[in-house]
Chain A
Amino acid sequence: MMEPIKKKVEGYRLYMITFTVLSILTLIAVWLTHVRFASPLVIGLIMLIAAIQAIIVLFYNMHLKFQDKILTIFVGLIFSLIFLLIIVTMLDFVYR
């Protein structure tokens, strides 16, 4: 017998809601490119939206929310490592 998840995954509605939220966030990101804010602010907002979308996909579509906490910690560590890698390299590149 398969024991896939510790908590029960919600019904089909969960996937419909995540799709709607992800689509709305995508459209907001596209709309932001037409807004005349300062460029770094727009770039920051667009990347923030992408990060929020990634978290939604990881937690709901990839079921991290319903899995063991240890897997969530592992995924968090991997993303932190990637974030650190990008930040450290960029700082080194810009201030060298």
Chain B
Amino acid sequence: MEHTLTIQHRDDDASRIGMWLFIFTELFLFAGLFLVFAVYRVKYYEGFHLAAKELNVTVGTINSIILLLSGMTMGIAYLAIQKAKNKLTLAMLGITILLGIIFLVNKYFEWSVKFEHGLYPGSPELISLSKGDVMFFGLYFFMTGLHALHLIAGLILIVIVFGAVIRGRVHSTKYALLENCSLYWHLVDLVWLFLFPLFYLIN
């Protein structure tokens, strides 16, 4: 009788390094955009100064706290899975998803107000304003929009991890997927830590 032995290859360290390499590319992407922002801020100082006053600091602050809180729940989920506390892991992942959605809803309302005021790229109202205003709102929509896209990708990833925990594919001795998902979510957090002061606070 013939027996076959299947050994599943797994290299969690390589998986983690791969995730960090991906994070480095993302950091360079946003660094390039921050550089563009800095250059145009120097060039159109007055326009940026006035345009930044149109943004709601309170909404921005609330969104910052929401994102920081979601970072905490994600961290707890990461620790809970290592301690084989699957229910706590699922609860924390669920709260993280909820907080991410709240962030997006806030962003939707924030953007809606700007659209109502005609402050969106290509609008007749915005074109009639100074070049600084046009550049500021162009960068604002592009950079916060790109960040929101990253957040949506993070939410999809968390939903996948949530399902994997339920099905037992992610557990206390095999949690690389959750760890990488957590790293990605904290990257989204990290980018917002610089987007918030640049757009909302420096004016």
A interface list, Cβ under 8 A from B: 1-4, 9, 11-12, 14-16, 18-19, 22-23, 26-27, 29-30, 32-33, 43, 46-47, 49-50, 53-54, 57-58, 61-62, 71, 74-75, 78-79, 82, 85-86, 89-90, 93-94
Q: Is the CB of A30 within 8 A of B31?
A: no
Bound Cα distance from A90 to B172, whole angstroms? 48
Q: Is the CB of A2 within 8 A of B173?
A: yes
Asked if B142 CB lies within 8 Å of chain A CBs, one says: no
- CB-based closest 7 A-B pairs: A15-B75, A19-B72, A82-B31, A15-B72, A61-B186, A2-B12, A46-B197
Q: Which residues of A contact B79 (CB under 8 A)?
A: 9, 11-12, 15
Query: Apart from A33-B57, A71-B17, what 14 extra A-B contacts exist at CB < 8 Å?
Result: A2-B174, A2-B175, A4-B179, A9-B82, A18-B71, A18-B72, A19-B71, A26-B68, A54-B194, A57-B193, A62-B183, A62-B187, A90-B38, A94-B42
Q: Is the CB of A16 within 8 A of B72?
A: yes
Bound Cα distance from A40 to B88, whole angstroms? 46
Most chain B Cβ neighbours within 10 Å, of A22, A46, A89: A22
The minimal Cβ–Cβ distance linking B62 to chain A, given in whole angstroms, is 10
B interface list, Cβ under 8 A from A: 12-13, 16-17, 20, 24, 27-28, 31, 34-35, 38-39, 42, 57, 61, 64-65, 68-69, 71-72, 74-76, 79-80, 82, 173-176, 179, 183, 186-187, 189-190, 193-194, 196-197, 201-203
Q: Is the CB of B71 within 8 A of A3?
A: no
Which secondary structure dominates where chain B touches chain A? helix
Q: Which residues of B contact A89 (CB under 8 A)?
A: 35, 38-39
User: Nearest chain-A residue to B73 (Cβ)?
Assistant: A15
Q: Which residues of A contact B69 (CB under 8 A)?
A: 19
Q: Is the CB of B12 within 8 A of A61?
A: no
Q: Is the CB of B189 within 8 A of A47?
A: no
The minimal Cβ–Cβ distance linking B55 to chain A, given in whole angstroms, is 11
**Sampled A-B contacts (26; CB under 8 Å):** A1-B173, A2-B12, A2-B175, A2-B176, A3-B12, A14-B75, A16-B72, A19-B69, A22-B68, A23-B65, A26-B196, A46-B197, A50-B194, A50-B197, A57-B189, A71-B17, A71-B20, A74-B20, A82-B28, A85-B31, A86-B31, A89-B35, A90-B39, A93-B39, A93-B42, A94-B42
